[in-house]
Chain A
Amino acid sequence: MSTYEIRHEPEKTSPWPLLLTLGGIAMVSGLLVVLAYQITRPMIEANQRAAVARAISQVIPGAVSHRAFIIDESGLRPAEEGERGDIIYAGYDEKGRLVGIAARASAQGYADIIHMLYGYDPRCQCIRGLKVLKMAETPGLGDRIKSDPAFLKNFQALDARLSADGKDLEHRIVTVKHGKKRHPWEIDAISGATISSRAVGRALDASARRILPLLMPHIGELERAAPRNSREAKR
């Protein structure tokens, strides 16, 4: 057994050695952390870009390149690095034609907030793909929103048409009980995972209602904004 010394009251020492040690070590460790950050940053950013690109090609069928934009009340503009706001990704095929738009959506699920990316096809005015980016739903039940083939079939052509005045969706996106789907704007829930399925519906509904009315007037700008050179196409 190793013995622990019993430390009685501290001896009287001047505070300077303490400050110097702690300060010195903190400074060295600060330097190390900054160094590590600098070294790994390009790799981390490359990983993040690759993850975004992978997700976009999954939710927009046929997209080989994409550009990021920010949409708000004042209009559409290319997203700068690190900018905050509603980011949308316009996906283009090999010939530079706009094939779809990807946007983020999130809602409170059963365990935590579910973050997802969905692809919107402006030609059919419908949602063409869904990818769950981050969630903490129950394995085996709620997490089937990520993999259940029948559930993902809902997002092959989920109706998200704008109403005649262009201010809202024609029909709000709703999740209905398993087997009760009657309309193209309804999502057929997974039986046994209704809460998670509803969260997906709520997230899509909220995101589509906010973004689409702002975006649709600018759809022409997106069509003309196809990436020109290969460097941009890769991003």
Chain B
Amino acid sequence: MQKSTRQDQHSRPAVSDLIAQKKKNRTVGSTLEKLVPGILFGIAAVSIITTVGILLTLITETVLFFQEVNFFSFFTGTELKPLGQNAVFGVLPLLTGTLISTAIAMLVAIPIGLMTAIYLSEYASEKARRILKPILEILAGIPTIVYGFFAFTFVTPLLRSFIPGLEPTNILSPGLVMGIMIIPMVASLSEDAMSAVPNSMREGALALGSTKLEVTWKVVVPAAISGIIASFVLGISRAIGETMIVTIASGSSKNFTFDITQSMQTMTAYIVEVSGGEAAAGTTLYHSLYAVAMTLFVFTLVMNFIAQYISRRFREEY
């Protein structure tokens, strides 16, 4: 009896030792337990720091720019000649380029995107949806540089055979291709909104003798309108910020014009051209990058806020 107890004492630590060890483990564990939330908060703060970083870089350099160039002449100037001795900085050529390419893109993306969404949500059989949705996802996943190549080497030559006056680089072709690029985004966001409309509403309208088109147009679309419009606004924001398609296919002429057969430069393409070039830090040319980027940033931010506001404010809960 006594022997076996002694053996136990040899193989197992005493209870008091166990308690001491447990306490030690607990302090290691609990230190970790206390540290983890702080570490994770630090990681989560990186996204905030990124936003602050973007704002700070844009604002500081933009302020420097407006010490060298008059604020009003920048926003009302129709002439942009950033290079050479007598550089002139007017942002209107870039603004019109951006707005015109965006308008062309949305003329393609809004009707086709909405019709696609209606077809997928209201008309398509389960089998058709299973085939069509992945195709839209593939379209959405194609890099924009590939769309740029497509616009420059295929769509522009094709359009030139219809429109003789079209320049080799023009705003029309990248605008159209940008619209194609945005179709999947408009379609899938609008479809989400329409799928959220409860079936009882469709059934009610059908029971009153409506055709499918009448159900769609008079019941489903009005009920989902906040989500649909939000998808349009997000599409606009995407088109304003799109870079590679317009950089490749619209050239770098800083024309102030409304003629869509001509080459125009967008804000994004200007940033690519100047930063990829020889702009030395500290020059007015270099600072103009940030002033244009700030304008671009504000435009897209406002669009995103509008989209969030619309989908929050006008959402109907069922």
The reply to whether chain A is a binding partner of chain B is no
